[in-house]
Amino acid sequence: MINGKRVYLAVGCFTCHGRSAQGGAYTGPAPILARTALPFDGFKALIRDPSNNMPAYSDTLLSDKDIADIYAFLQSLPGSRSPKDISILNN
């Protein structure tokens, strides 16, 4: 997971998806990646051949191992919470 976080930050994923993979809107809506429901093969396919304005990362830029490490890092994050679990939203 440590290498995954390092690579996630080094290649700039955080620029659009946030430092905690919470999603963002730098160049348009960027999905939340923390605890992604995508299976690894789907995640890897989107890295290699993304939709919208995300750049493609060939195997010369990101190895399969780097992608697997990023995926493990993302799966280790807490993910989004239900609004019901956020007390200030329930007052």
The full set of domains in the chain, from first to last, is 2-80 (1.10.760.10)
Residue 83 in this model has a pLDDT that exceeds 70? no
Q: What average pLDDT does the chain have?
A: 89
CA distance 12 to 22: 14
CA distance 69 to 55: 19
Residue 14 in this model has a pLDDT that exceeds 70? yes
pLDDT of 81: 63
pLDDT of 1: 74
Strand partners, 24: 30
CA distance 89 to 28: 26
Asked if residue 69 lies in contact with residue 3, where contact means CB atoms within 8 angstroms, the answer is yes
pLDDT band at 53 (very low <50, low <70, confident <90, very high): confident
- pLDDT: which is higher, 52 or 21: 21
